[in-house]
Structure formats: structure tokens, C-alpha cells
Structure 1
Amino acid sequence: MAQDLNTEPLQSRLPQLDALRGLAALYVVIYHVMAMADPDLAVPAALLPFVGMGGTGVALFFVMSAFSLCLTWPRHAASGAALRSFYLSRWFRIAPLLLVLLAVMLLKDQLREPARYGVAETVWNVSMLFGLSPDWQPGIVMGSWTIGVEVLFYLLFPLFAIWVRGLLGQLLLLALAFALSLWAAGLPAPFAHLGGVYGALTHWPVFAWGCVLFQLWLCLRDKPVRIRRPLGVALLLVGVIGNALLFYRMLPPVLWLSGWNQSAVFYGAMLLGLLLANNRLLVNRATCFLGTISYSLYLVHPFVVSRLYGVFARLYEHLPPGAAYAGCAAISLALAIPVAWLTYRFVEKPGIRLGHGLFARVSARKRAPAGETQGAY
């Protein structure tokens, strides 16, 4: 049954989402271990297509981000101040860590002569609206271009949540997003960045696909286990096998559908399949833990990996390429995961609590009689 997003609150955290976030973060890390070095680290030929497509883990993040926003929107709607609740929640979820890492980058690089970052670039990054800038889309913090894309989707999401109803509405939104992405790919120079590699319009079909998947999940989640589980297993297999064929260039090209969007389709099948069927091999304490710290792991691992190039070189001097790359990935993860836990524990969680507390205080003041509100000062 198709539903809109303004219904009663749903379960706000699904272990399958956490597990896939953790796997997506791992995939991005093993890709960057190879690709951040100059030149790229040597990887066995049989693994190169898989490792080389690790950047598509971001597409999985985008799909899950949209799905999660749909999942939690009823909670914001039920708060009585949906927009305030939503925007405070989003800002305090992503801004604290990004701004801390941005401060680290500025303190480190502005000490150089000449200073690396100008005022305009810094202001765009602090605003988190750099996805709109033709000059500063990549972001100062490595990998933060994704934040620039997500923030623009966050700005519009409440409109979609309020006005786009049911599966049909989300499918129409997906078609519109896809049409806009094709149109944006041909925009002239002043606006070409909106349809470029880091362009919001390029990636909005992936977010819209996440919203469609949410509606499909609502339609299927209450089906009998004898129907739901086999369907979930089939979707999971389609997603895994489809992406494997895509990465190893064994699929024919699809007109108008980029490899990035194709990977998002298959990742979406994996997500929906895992939600319907579950799988203890994929959904376990380790993957859920990695999912919990995935935002930190995504943003902090470049700081760790970039400090290990000397170690990587020594490994490649003494080991075959396959063993050397495995060692580089293992060392990177062994160091990045604890650092990510620390930033999650001491930056992300306090930021989230601060956002919740601020919303509670603002809401209490709105509800309080005028005399009580004045007395509070």
C-alpha cells in the first residue's frame, strides 16, 4: 500500500541501514588507500575493477541518506514543528564534525606561505553551500563534496516530504530528477557545475531513487515471511551480481544511464533486499558498529591514509603487490577506525545531543505562556 511521509513515526533506526553504511564506508576507504597515493598503488589485476569502483560507495550513501530522511520524517512531522526539527537535526548531525575538520585543515594549511585558502573559499565551506559554487565544489576537507551535494538535497527535502505522496508520486519525482540531470549535463559554462561530477543535479536521481525504495519498503515490509524473504534474497543477489557485472564491464551500456546511476540502481536493490530478508553475514555487530561511525570514518580516513605513504612504500618494496596492498588497507583501517570512533564519540554525539537539546528548549519556549517565557530570562 502506498503511503505518504506524514504518517505516524516509524522505527527510526534499522540495523540493515547501519550495516550497509558500514560496508559503504569500508568500500570507500579501500578505494582511497589505492587512489590517494600518486601514482595509484598497484592492485592485482583480478581485484582492480572491484577496488577501482570503490568510489561508488558514495552512491550507496546517497541512496541510504534519502531512505533515512523518509524514515525519520514522520518523527519531525509529529513534533509540531517539522521544519525546525528537521533542519536542526540535519545541521547538528553533519556540521560539527565537518567544521572541526575544516578548522584543522585551515590551521594546517593557512600557516603556509602563501596561505592556501582564500576568504571566499573558506566562507563557502563554512556555509556548507559550496555545492552551489562553480569554484569550490570539491570542498576543502577531502571527500566533503558529498556534503555539498547532500545539504542542497536537505534544503528541498521537506517540500518533497510534504507534497509528494505515495509510490506514484515518488516515481514521478524520480523521473523529474532524471530529466533534470540530463538537462543539467548540457548547461552552459556559468551553470555547468550543477551538472558536473560534483553537481547536485547530477546526483539527485540517486536521492530520488532512495525515496522510491522507501515507498517500496512500506509496501512490502508487512508481507508474509514466505513472500518477503525470498523476494529479499532475490533482490540482494540482483544487487550484488549486477554491480559485479557492472564493475567488470560485463554489462552492455544503457542509453542515458551512467555507470554511476546504474550502480545506484543495484545498490538500491541490495538495500531493499537486505531490509526484506536480513542477513546475519552482512548485518552483525561489526558492520553495525562501522555504520554507526561511518560518517566519521568517511571524513577522517583521508587524514590517516595521507600520513601513511611512507609505510605504503616500504610495504611495496618488500612484498608482492597483492600482499602489499592488503597490508596497506589493513594498516589504514586499523588506524582510521579508532580515530573515527574518537571523533564520533567526542564530536558527533555531543553535536547530536546539542541539536536535540536546542530543539527541546526552543519548543518549550514556544509552548510556554508569555509571562513564563519572560521569566525564564
Structure 2
Amino acid sequence: MVLTFRTPAASRLPSLTGLRFLAAMLVFLYHGSLMKIVVFNPFADAQWATAYNHLFNAGGRVGVSFFFVLSGFVLTWSARSTDTTSAFLRRRLLKIYPNHIVTWAVAMMLLVAPGTRPAVWLPNLLLLHAWVPEDDILRGVNAVSWSLCSELLFYMLFPLILPAVQRIRAARLWWWAAATVAALLAAQGLITLLTPDAPVAPGWPLPELRFWLAYFFPPLRLFEFVLGMLMARILMTGQWIRLGLLPAFLFMAAGYAAARVVPFQYSLNAVTIVPIALLITAVAATDVADAPTLLASRPMVWLGEVSFAFYMVHLEVLYGTQALLHGQTFATPMALGVIASEFGTALLLAWMLYALVERPIMRRWAGNARPRTARALVSRADDGSRA
């Protein structure tokens, strides 16, 4: 089936690339502040340790939700007019699997106990572990890779969802975006009603099954991905409300603050999905308008380009630091130095992974295959006004 698509006036979104690193940094700071189950927080001073944890305790959840919305936005924005489903899927698999396999192998050598059963490490290798509601499988090997299970589902469904999103009339896109947010809120409410209150997930204020469904289960993260697709269409079809960068960032800050005080389940994505979607679209709109931003500066774009690799290596760096320092905590100046060294090490390793694995593989094997019109994922044409 041949689909329709309007090519954006500006295909590159450098400010969004820069923004991507800020989201990855939030995840890094969240993990670095942990004080339960695994302790990465390096502060000996209880007030500093608590402040660090409280400031970034929503960072991981916000960062991951940002990546899911961003995926839907960018894939819709950059969908190629002569692309095929097979070429699209090849590019996406080549984007995530090489980095995943390298970091999986490192974690297997350094972090996973010898003799660990295949039921723990094999689902992680195949990016199936987020589908299993067992903590040792879900968080086994390189724990951050759970989000790639959702990304993989998004990629598989994108060629099926895109035609439906493109058929929505431009004037109705905001209504569909609102309906997607409402569906996410309803899903969280149903999860609360339909799941038992015990057993409680160790170290978390939610029952195990409820936590898995509300946060890790890939199909229930589709709402964020689809919202990102809709926001891209809103911008592409001229329906954007022209929200400025400052209001968008302030709204995002308010959403982040709310995520720190609302009941935990609703901090997972319910109170932040709208601010995230508006921020992503506002930042993209500045690129479309060719307006200069700090996010589009060369250093920020470079950081954004290595952000996926940074995300994949940072937890291994934190575990490595914990092992080298034997779990010690430090006076405040030294603790700040530990955080800075962890960041620098993760960034260096991310650059190496990007330069030696991710970028060469994408350049070598992720190029366009010869398009076949009958199997095209998208084709040029309308302005989004149909049906």
C-alpha cells in the first residue's frame, strides 16, 4: 500500500538533537542519585545526599518518557517519501542493536555473575525482557536497555500506525492528541483498579505487577509514541499554537516539579506527557523557523548525537565506580568530583561507542535500499487534510 506524506520544509532539527542530551543527562543524574536497592549516591552528608536524590528522583522517568515521545515525533517528521518498510526497519535495528550488543557484552563480562541462567540474560540480548514481569529478568544485564524493548515495538508498528495518523484531518489533530493523553490517563487508572495491592515492588511504592504494567510493559508506552507522531503532524500541517521556548520550558519545569509530589504511579508519565510533547514541538518549531538556539550549537548537537550511546553506557560506569570505590561516600567537594568523573567517563565511552560502532555501522549498512514504489512506506503528496 502506498501512503501519503508531506515533506517538511526543514528536515533537520538540530535543537531537538541538542535537547536529547539533556534528557539523557536527567537519566544519568537520576541513577547517580539513587539511595535504595543500589546506592550510587556519593554524598556522605545526609542533607546533600537527600537533596541530590530529591532533585533528580523524577529525572529517569521524565527522560524515558521524553525519548518515547521524541521517537514518534522524529520518525514521523523524517519519514522518507520513497522509503520501504524493510529499509525503515533495517535502519532502526542498525541504530539500536549494535550499541545494545556491545554494552550487553560488557555487562555480561563485568556485572553478571558467572553461571547466571540463560532465562535472565537471553531475553535482555533479544530485547524481550521488558515483556517479563520478573525483576531479575527485567533489570538483568544492562538494566537501562529495557526501554529499547518499547522502542523496538514502536518501530515494528510505525508502518501500520503512520497511515492512520496521516489520514487525520489537520483541524482534528489536536483533538486526537488530547484523546491520546486521555487514553494514557485512563490506562493508568485501569491499572490501579485491576491489579492487586501486593506484593510491593522492593524499593518502590507500588505493587510489583502494577509497577511493571504502568512503566515497563511496552504496549502501554505506545501512547507517548503516538502522541509524538501527532505532534509532528500538528507542526507539519500548520496547526501549531506557536508556544515560545520560554513558556514551553517553564511548563516542562512545572510538570517535572509535579512529578516529584504526585502519587508515584502518576509521576511515571501522566503529569509530564503534555509538557514533554509541547516542549518537543516548540523546540522543533524554532528549527523550522530557522531561529538560533543554544540547543542547536555545535557542542550541543554533538552531545545529542552521542546521547544514545551515553544512555547505554552510563549505568555501567556507575556500577564500575561503585565497585572501584567499594561503595564509599565522600565529603561534598569530593562527591561532586566523583559525579563529574562519572559523567566524564560515561561521555568518553559514549563518544568511543558512537565513533567506533554506531556511526560506522549506520554509514555502512543503513543507507537507502533501492525504493520499490509498491512497498513504499510513505510517498509525497497531501497536506494532511484527508478524512
User: What are the ranges of 5 or more consecutive residues in structure 1 without an aligned counterpart?
Assistant: 367-377
The one-letter amino acid of 1:25's match is: A
Asked if structure 1 preserves the Cα contact closer than 8 Å seen for 2:30 and 2:59, the reply is: yes
* Structure-2 separation of matches of 1:89 and 1:134: 29
- Residues 1:243 and 2:259 aligned together: no
Q: In structure 2, which of residues 245, 254, 270 is the aligned counterpart of residue 261 of structure 1?
A: 270
Which residue in the other structure is 1:374 paired with?
none
What displacement does 1:326 show?
2.3
- Residues 1:270 and 2:279 aligned together: yes
| 342 and 349 in structure 1: CA distance in 2 versus 1, 3 angstrom threshold | same
What displacement does 1:291 show?
0.7
Which residue in the other structure is 1:87 paired with?
89
Q: In structure 2, which of residues 328, 334, 353 is the aligned counterpart of residue 343 of structure 1?
A: 353
What displacement does 1:198 show?
1.1
* Structure-2 separation of matches of 1:246 and 1:335: 32
RMSD of the TM alignment (CA)?
3.5
The one-letter amino acid of 1:329's match is: I
* Structure-2 separation of matches of 1:338 and 1:162: 40
What displacement does 1:182 show?
4.0
Which residue in the other structure is 1:283 paired with?
296
Which residue in the other structure is 2:233 paired with?
215
| 124 and 169 in structure 1: CA distance in 2 versus 1, 3 angstrom threshold | same
* Structure-1 separation of matches of 2:273 and 2:224: 6
Which residue in the other structure is 1:372 paired with?
none
The one-letter amino acid of 1:272's match is: T
Q: What do the CA deviations read for 1:80-115 (whole angstroms, capped 9, x no partner)?
A: x2x1122111111101110122222334466x55x1
Length-normalised TM-score, structure 1 = 0.77
SS in 2 for 1:143: helix
Asked if structure 1 preserves the Cα contact closer than 8 Å seen for 2:72 and 2:226, the reply is: yes
What displacement does 1:144 show?
0.7
Q: What do the CA deviations read for 1:150-208 (whole angstroms, capped 9, x no partner)?
A: 21222222211012333145554554455445445555689868624311244222223
Which residue in the other structure is 1:63 paired with?
69
Asked if structure 2 preserves the Cα contact closer than 8 Å seen for 1:59 and 1:206, the reply is: yes
- Residues 1:305 and 2:318 aligned together: yes
Q: In structure 2, which of residues 5, 8, 15 is the aligned counterpart of residue 7 of structure 1?
A: 5
Asked if structure 2 preserves the Cα contact closer than 8 Å seen for 1:213 and 1:272, the reply is: yes
Which residue in the other structure is 1:27 paired with?
26
Asked if structure 1 preserves the Cα contact closer than 8 Å seen for 2:68 and 2:224, the reply is: yes
| 306 and 192 in structure 1: CA distance in 2 versus 1, 3 angstrom threshold | closer
- Residues 1:233 and 2:251 aligned together: no
Q: In structure 2, which of residues 340, 355, 365 is the aligned counterpart of residue 355 of structure 1?
A: 365
Length-normalised TM-score, structure 2 = 0.75
Which residue in the other structure is 1:130 paired with?
129
Which residue in the other structure is 1:105 paired with?
107
What displacement does 1:300 show?
0.6
What displacement does 1:57 show?
1.4
| 300 and 353 in structure 1: CA distance in 2 versus 1, 3 angstrom threshold | same
| 155 and 279 in structure 1: CA distance in 2 versus 1, 3 angstrom threshold | same
Asked if structure 1 preserves the Cα contact closer than 8 Å seen for 2:121 and 2:140, the reply is: no
Which residue in the other structure is 1:292 paired with?
305
The one-letter amino acid of 1:13's match is: R
Higher RCO by CA contacts (8 Å cutoff, separation 6 or greater): 2
* Structure-2 separation of matches of 1:220 and 1:163: 19
Stretch deviating more after TM superposition (204-213 or 91-100)? 204-213
The one-letter amino acid of 2:55's match is: F
| 45 and 247 in structure 1: CA distance in 2 versus 1, 3 angstrom threshold | farther
| 161 and 185 in structure 1: CA distance in 2 versus 1, 3 angstrom threshold | farther
* Structure-1 separation of matches of 2:92 and 2:75: 10
* Structure-2 separation of matches of 1:170 and 1:248: 25
User: What are the ranges of 5 or more consecutive residues in structure 2 without an aligned counterpart?
Assistant: 197-207, 376-387
What displacement does 1:209 show?
2.5
Which residue in the other structure is 1:375 paired with?
none
Asked if structure 2 preserves the Cα contact closer than 8 Å seen for 1:18 and 1:291, the reply is: yes
Asked if structure 1 preserves the Cα contact closer than 8 Å seen for 2:34 and 2:53, the reply is: no
Asked if structure 1 preserves the Cα contact closer than 8 Å seen for 2:295 and 2:301, the reply is: no
Asked if structure 2 preserves the Cα contact closer than 8 Å seen for 1:149 and 1:200, the reply is: yes
Which residue in the other structure is 1:206 paired with?
224
Asked if structure 2 preserves the Cα contact closer than 8 Å seen for 1:297 and 1:340, the reply is: yes
* Structure-1 separation of matches of 2:362 and 2:192: 36
Asked if structure 2 preserves the Cα contact closer than 8 Å seen for 1:185 and 1:202, the reply is: no
The one-letter amino acid of 1:245's match is: A
Asked if structure 1 preserves the Cα contact closer than 8 Å seen for 2:41 and 2:49, the reply is: no
What displacement does 1:284 show?
2.1
Q: What do the CA deviations read for 1:284-342 (whole angstroms, capped 9, x no partner)?
A: 2222111100010001112222222367679844x3x3x34422221111111111011
| 219 and 363 in structure 1: CA distance in 2 versus 1, 3 angstrom threshold | closer
Asked if structure 2 preserves the Cα contact closer than 8 Å seen for 1:18 and 1:292, the reply is: yes
* Structure-2 separation of matches of 1:25 and 1:245: 18
What displacement does 1:148 show?
1.3
Which residue in the other structure is 1:329 paired with?
339
